[in-house]
Amino acid sequence: MSRSVAIIGAGPSGCFVAQALLKADPDLQVDLIDRLPVPYGLVRYGVAADHQGTKGVVRQFARLFERQGARFVGNVEIDAALLVEVQNAYDAVVLAGGLSQDRRLGIPGEDLSGVHGAGAVTRALYDHPDADALPQLGRRVVLVGNGNVAIDLLRLLAKSPEELDGSDLGAVASEWLANSPVENITIVGRSPAEQAKFDAVMIKELGKLSGVSITVPDLPDTDSPDGAKKIDALRGLAGLSGGPKSIAFRFGMTPVAIEGEGTRVTGMRFSDGAGAQTLLPCDTVLTAVGFGAGPEALDRDRRVAEALDDGAGCLAPGLYAAGWFKRGPRGTIPDNRADAQAVAARILSDFERQPEAGKPGHAMWQGRGGIVNYADWQRIDRAELAGAADGRCRHKISTRAEMLAIVAKTEETT
């Protein structure tokens, strides 16, 4: 009987683990379990709607299910009790559920209305079934954070409706952006520009925007080759003018407090680390300062802290971790591949040392209602592609009920 592996989370890291396992041993039973009826995690719900090239990675993930024999077990949320059942049913279990909770700044004023986390905003923009409604933005936005997520948000807020052609942005999000009152965005980073986390290529892309004026402070030269690329890209934007919206970059400013009148934000205060403070007046604060474990994360922080072998992703005998769940909210989609290969290698070497247990694996799901399999996902996918509006490559279905209705309808007619 072949060994069975359950991977909890069908995002990029789960898919890369499955890929590595099945490449090494095509006879393994590998199931990718996801709380959503659709696979691919943040490729679908985080990667920007106007970066469809990046989302092309799903074509290699699809081969997992179509050619390598992995199975998708969608619409199943694993909680602590179900995790025990899964551990009893599979020879190895990999936790690859990512990190979904916006990290907080930990400063006064963070709960004022008008303060929003980038994760919550992008989930709403990209039609995640569990997203809150899109927030009401004001005219003056302070965007805190200097990673690629902050730059994605900046670019989307600055784009004209025409510049979003070819994306998979839904009708509600498109209207929200088109009617957004935002006139002025100040993007603030804690580090100096050369140490910012964004990639230079993301900054260069801003130079193609048609409707914005951009100001960048004077930036010192640096000896770091990576830092120099960032500085060059930023200098290339300085003075860009041509539109009603304005963007200003600020660096080396540490958040101190968000200020408000009543319950509403009126400004954000920063320190330069040398005793001087700056108040930036604003009516909206967007934070993009990383992610932590959400309520669905199966006690992630404790499990990682108590891991048997953190580096190889072994949390406990038979229980492993991969991707953002393992490493924290760092790294791009390709960065998860090397990590996944190490986890897969550890699982395979553990298998060699253990006697075959003859666990049931996938059979544990027999008779359980509501599961969405890969063929069901393909039906949802086809419906989304067929429903694309003019200027869009896909119409994302935004609720579980609608997704499940497509699956049920096809079942009735087959």
Q: Which residues bind ligand FAD (CB under 6 A)?
A: 8-14, 33-36, 41-42, 46-48, 51, 54, 77-78, 96-98, 122, 149, 152, 296, 298, 323-325, 331-333, 336
For the range 331-335, what are the long-range contacts, defined as Cβ-Cβ under 8 Å and sequence gap of 24 or more? 332/148, 333/12, 333/43, 333/47, 333/54, 333/57
Q: Which is nearer to ligand FAD, 42 or 219 (CB)?
A: 42
Q: Give the shortest CB-189-to-ligand FAD separation in angstroms.
A: 17
Q: Give the shortest CB-45-to-ligand FAD separation in angstroms.
A: 8
Q: Give the shortest CB-298-to-ligand FAD separation in angstroms.
A: 6
By beta carbon distance, the residue nearest ligand FAD is: 11
Q: Which is nearer to ligand FAD, 242 or 334 (CB)?
A: 334
Q: Which is nearer to ligand FAD, 51 or 104 (CB)?
A: 51
Q: Give the shortest CB-156-to-ligand FAD separation in angstroms.
A: 11
Strand order across the beta sheet in which 277-281 lies: 254-261, 264-271, 277-281
Q: Which is nearer to ligand FAD, 14 or 255 (CB)?
A: 14
Q: Which is nearer to ligand FAD, 275 or 295 (CB)?
A: 295
Q: Give the shortest CB-230-to-ligand FAD separation in angstroms.
A: 17
**Residue 76 near residue 34, CB atoms below 8 Å:** yes
Q: What is the largest CA-CA distance in the chain?
A: 70
Q: Which is nearer to ligand FAD, 219 or 293 (CB)?
A: 293
**Residue 45 near residue 161, CB atoms below 8 Å:** no
Q: Give the shortest CB-366-to-ligand FAD separation in angstroms.
A: 19
**Residue 196 near residue 227, CB atoms below 8 Å:** no
Q: Which is nearer to ligand FAD, 75 or 186 (CB)?
A: 75
Q: Which is nearer to ligand FAD, 61 or 270 (CB)?
A: 61
Q: Which is nearer to ligand FAD, 78 or 219 (CB)?
A: 78
**Residue 4 near residue 29, CB atoms below 8 Å:** yes
Q: Give the shortest CB-144-to-ligand FAD separation in angstroms.
A: 15
